């Protein structure tokens, strides 16, 4: 079912937006991913992923209040849409089914002599 296809980074971004609800904005998402996954995230890659997810209808965004610390620019907050939730559920279900179908011996190479 291609309409719910998510890349690995897109999935991580969606999950992180959910974890940070209702305070998911660019910097908070970046920091959370970096801390949880011990993985560097470029601002450009994150912004591209957030835009793609919004274009797909998986996320929606809204502007917060402008602040002095951001030179009068408002934060853009992200939330998961109903379609985004369906995409996440489809991805999780697919991964769970694949994991369940791996023969136990395939994960224990010592048993196969490999």
- Name the domain count of the chain: 1
Q: Is residue 2 part of a domain?
A: no
pLDDT tens readout for residues 58-80: 999 999 877 777 677 889 999 99
Residue 78 lies in a domain: yes
Given a cut of 60, is residue 1 above it in pLDDT? no
- The answer to whether residue 2 scores a pLDDT higher than 60 is no
Q: Which two tokens stand for residue 38?
A: 């011990």
Tell me the Cα Rg of the chain.
18
Residue 114, pLDDT above cutoff 90 = no
**Could you tell me if residue 97 is inside a domain?**
yes
Q: Can you tell me whether residue 57 is helix, strand or coil?
A: coil
Neighbour tally for 2: CB within 10 Å: 4
Q: Please report the pLDDT score of residue 112 as a whole number.
A: 55
Mean pLDDT estimate for the chain: 91
pLDDT tens-digit readout, 26-44: 999 999 999 999 999 999 9
Residue 22 lies in a domain: yes
Residue 92, domain member (yes or no): yes
Domain containing residue 99: CATH number: 1.10.10.10
Tell me if 30 sits within 8 A of 9, measured CB to CB.
Answer: no
Domain-located, residue 70:
yes
């Amino acid at each position: 079912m291609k309409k719910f296809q998510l890349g690995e980074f897109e999935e991580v971004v969606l999950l992180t937006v959910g974890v940070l609800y209702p305070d998911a904005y660019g910097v908070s998402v970046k920091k959370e991913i970096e801390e949880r996954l011990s993985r560097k995230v470029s601002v450009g890659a994150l912004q591209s992923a957030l835009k793609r997810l919004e274009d797909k209808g998986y996320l929606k965004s809204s502007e917060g209040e402008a602040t002095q610390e951001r030179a009068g620019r408002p934060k853009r907050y992200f939330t998961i849409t109903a379609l985004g939730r369906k995409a996440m559920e489809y991805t999780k279900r697919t991964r769970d089914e694949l994991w369940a179908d791996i023969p136990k011996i395939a994960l224990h190479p010592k048993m196969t002599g490999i």
